[in-house]
Amino acid sequence: MQHPAITIENLWFAYGGARVLDQVNLTLAAGEFLAVLGPNGGGKSTLLRLLLGLVRPGGGSLKVLGQDPGQTGGRIGYLPQFTSVSANFPITVLGAVALGLVQPGFSGLAGWLSPAARRAEREAALLALSRVGLADQAGRRLSDLSGGQRQRVFIARAIVSGPELLLLDEPTASVDGKSRQELMALLSELNRDMTIVMVSHDMSTVDGCVTSIACVNRSLHHHAESRLTPAIFAQAAGVDLKATCPVELVAHGTVPHRVLLDHDHPDCCGGTHRHEKRDEGDAP
């Protein structure tokens, strides 16, 4: 019987005596694509660090792929939030991806391993690049690529060992809108072969790609759906709002960046979206 990808029971974690996470419970089935949303300081990145075994919970229990965090080896891939490359660092795209092969005897496409072992590493790195659509860029310097291309390379590095679980911390934060859409389409494709947990501030990345949503703000609320309902949106934003539409929560609630027009505004829809009749098959 296959273990859940993640099992968390009554977990809490504190920095300097202040609890960042408290009474967290989650059972995530293998094959899910979970978006972790929530306000700054709510504990999202801390949750990823706990899953990776970089920090230990103050209490409760946590299993990842049926094992204690930090004991899963190459079964977990990880993309950190901040990834930058100096223009003076002469690593190639292929070399950067091969750095993800953090296994005993890793050579980094060089070193003292046998030619056969080095060929196996090269083939694994090329396969990962092929999966993200950049096999033809293998010989280029990583610093010469665009921001969206570099992020694909870092995803290739995270999946080069063939992980069962992929953890992503803000994967679309540093790319433009077009690259963001392409990255989400790529992650949706990768989700066919691996469980994905993605921390994101960008709620526009959620609909149509993820299979469930976790709102994290010290506690965790798991929603087994992929649509941003008003209730989920308010939880993810860390606000207490009662409204009929997530668009209005963004535009007219206490959430910053009020850049959208009200539904009744003549330059929007003039209220037609709010008052239009539902199809006969729609829920009330």
- Give the chain's mean pLDDT: 79
Lowest mean pLDDT among 32-41, 86-95, 167-176: 86-95
Strand 212-217, strand 59-64: pairing: unpaired
pLDDT one-digit tens code per residue, 4-50: 999 999 999 998 889 999 999 999 999 999 999 888 888 999 999 99
Which is nearest to 19 in space by CA: 49, 52, 46, 40?
Answer: 46
Residue type, 82: F
Q: d(Cα 266, Cα 270) in Å, to the nearest integer?
A: 5
Q: d(Cα 157, Cα 77) in Å, to the nearest integer?
A: 8
Q: d(Cα 67, Cα 237) in Å, to the nearest integer?
A: 32
Tokens, residue 24: 């967290």
Q: pLDDT at residue 283 above 80? A: no
Handedness of CA 222, 180, 108, 115 (dihedral sign): positive
pLDDT number for residue 268 = 47
Tokens, residue 248: 């209005």
Q: d(Cα 50, Cα 66) in Å, to the nearest integer?
A: 15
CATH 3.40.50.300 domain position(s) in the chain: 6-240
pLDDT number for residue 215 = 87
pLDDT number for residue 242 = 52
Contact in structure between 137 and 129 (CB atoms under 8 Å): yes
Contact in structure between 81 and 45 (CB atoms under 8 Å): yes
Lowest mean pLDDT among 77-91, 124-138, 183-197: 77-91
pLDDT number for residue 127 = 96
* Residue that wins the pLDDT comparison between 257 and 100: 100
- One of 3.30.470.10, 3.40.50.300, 3.30.1220.10, 3.30.10.20 is the CATH number of 6-240, namely 3.40.50.300
Which is nearest to 218 in space by CA: 234, 198, 238, 203?
Answer: 238
Q: pLDDT at residue 271 above 70? A: no
Highest mean pLDDT of the ranges 84-98, 124-138, 236-250:
124-138
Q: How confident is the model at residue 266 (pLDDT cuts 50, 70, 90)?
A: low
pLDDT one-digit tens code per residue, 94-151: 999 998 886 544 445 554 455 676 788 889 999 999 999 999 999 999 989 988 899 9
pTM here? 0.78
Contact in structure between 61 and 162 (CB atoms under 8 Å): no
